Amino acid sequence: MLGWNMKAARRAAMAAMLAAPAGAALAASPVLQAEQSDVATLPPVGAHWVLPATDRDAYTLYDADAGRILGTLPASILGNIALSPDRRTFYVADTIWSRVDHGTRQDLLQEYDSHTLALRREIPLPPRALAVYKGQDFDVSPDGKWGYVFDMSPATSVTIVDLAKGAVARTVDIPGCALVFPWKQGGFSSLCGDGSLTNVGYAGDQPTVTHTAPFFDANNDPIFEQGLVDRATGHALFVSYTGKVYEAALGQKPDIAASWSLQAAAGQPVAGTGVQEQAWRPGGKQPFAWNRATGHLFVLMHVGPHWTHKTDGTEIWEFDPTRHALVRRIDLPQPARGIAVSGDAAPLLYATSPDGTMTVIDARTGTVRRTVEAHAQSMIVAPDLLPGRNG
């Protein structure tokens, strides 16, 4: 009896639907609105924004305070990225081929709007030096006028790009030297294979080139290519494989101070050059970071013999270079191959690990704030926000 009643009810409902006017059914349906496309706009670049290079052919832009993705900037593993001093433009120097991995080669400097991440223009370049995640292959002058692109074709040179005109201004040969380290104004320096610096002064006319005497042992104790420069002052820090720190005021005639030891500053035995000599040593793919507000240097450290300069770090050591003193040692939850630090007075440290995670650390306490599954590679960029600039 129950089954018969249910069947009768369904037949009655169907009859009622068929008897209802066609317009009644349509009136009961919701009206679908047409989807409107738009482009999100980001606020000015924040002090705790960070860009790790990822395995997705892009730099991913994160808000480290919130732990969320803000956007992505396309770039290959050969690409280099820099933020303009006024924070309005991300520059990406990259190389592509017409058939992905072969064909016609194009070297480009690409400009992206920092608020929309939209590509604004592309500037053709001479053949760049192709190196995986090498931040010192490209930089922007602190006044925002010039882009410096390191070339190798096969001789080494630097292409100077007029960023206002969007065109190459000139190429300067730097035989036997490599990379770019911008001065406070008026030029850049490059590291040389004999342990010296080449210094190129340029203000839009004929470049002036000078050379220093060798100041480090390029054969037995080379310095890392990942030297650091404070754009606001032109002050540079170069660190050797054994942990010697060379401080330099960059310019046409650089002032290079006597070296001091990371290990001695930490009360540890000074590392030597013995291939079996175990000691605390700097190492990793991006082993240094410099907080502009405090002037403190952060270094990835590990225990190993000489020539282990690419070994992942198990600790981050914080130093005050003005006092040649250790501030603190920070244990890492897992080994890291690259670090960066924000430039503000409440800095965050960022450490990338071989499994692709990015660990965010409060640099004042050493406390882990969060871990992000970022698919991160060794290269990580914390935008240096110079004082007196607006986004």
Q: Which token pair is 260?
A: 């001091």
Predicted local distance difference test score (pLDDT) of residue 27: 53
∠ Cα 249 386 372 (to 5°): 110
- Alpha helical stretches, state H, the chain: 2-19, 22-28, 262-265
Taking the C-alpha atoms of residue 376 and residue 350, their distance in angstroms, rounded to an integer, is 11
Is pLDDT above 70 for 94?
yes
Question: Which tokens sit at 204?
Answer: 């839009």
Mean predicted confidence (pLDDT) in 50-54? 93
Numbers of helices and strands, H then E, in the chain? 3, 30
- pLDDT exceeds 60 at position 386: no
B/e letters for 25-58, b = 16+ CB within 10 Å, e = fewer, are: eeeeeeeeeeeeeeeeebeebbbbbbbbbbeeeb
22-31, 286-295, 299-308, 332-341: least confidently modelled range: 22-31
Alpha-carbon distances, residue 368 vs 97, 290, 331, 372, 388 (angstroms): 41, 19, 10, 11, 31
- pLDDT tens sequence across 256-291: 999 999 999 999 999 999 999 999 999 999 999 999
Domains of the chain by range and CATH?
50-381 (2.130.10.10)
pLDDT bin (cut points 50, 70, 90) of residue 98 is very high
Q: In the predicted model, is pLDDT for residue 356 greater than 90?
A: yes
Whether residue 354 is predicted with pLDDT greater than 60 in this model: the reply is yes
Q: How many CB atoms within 10 Å of residue 228?
A: 17
CA distance 303 to 282: 9
Q: Are 376 and 356 in contact (CB under 8 A)?
A: yes
Is the predicted pLDDT of residue 99 greater than 50, yes or no? yes
Q: Which residues contact 299 (CB under 8 A, 6 or more apart)?
A: 239, 262, 282, 287, 288, 313, 316, 317, 319
pLDDT at 66 over 70: yes
> Is 50 exceeded by the pLDDT of residue 37?
yes
Q: Quick one: pLDDT at residue 28?
A: 59
**Residue 297: CA atoms inside 13 Å, Cβ hemisphere, count?**
32
CB 390 within 8 A of CB 372: no
**What is the rounded CA–CA span in Å between residue 326 and residue 317?**
7
Mean pLDDT, residues 334-349:
96
CB 377 within 8 A of CB 100: no
Whether 367 shows a pLDDT value over 90: the answer reads yes
Which tens digits make up the pLDDT trace of 190-216? 999 999 999 999 999 999 999 999 999
Q: And the tokens for 79?
A: 């690409």
Residue 388 pLDDT greater than 50, yes or no: no
Lateral strand order in the sheet of 68-74: 68-74, 58-63, 49-54, 376-381
pLDDT, tens digit (0-9, with 9 covering 90-100), for 275-331: 999 999 999 999 999 999 999 999 999 999 999 999 999 999 999 999 999 999 999
When pLDDT is cut at 50, 70 and 90, the band that residue 333 belongs to is very high
This prediction has a pTM of 0.89
d(CA 179, CA 139): 10
Mean pLDDT confidence for 371-378: 92
What pLDDT does residue 13 have?
45
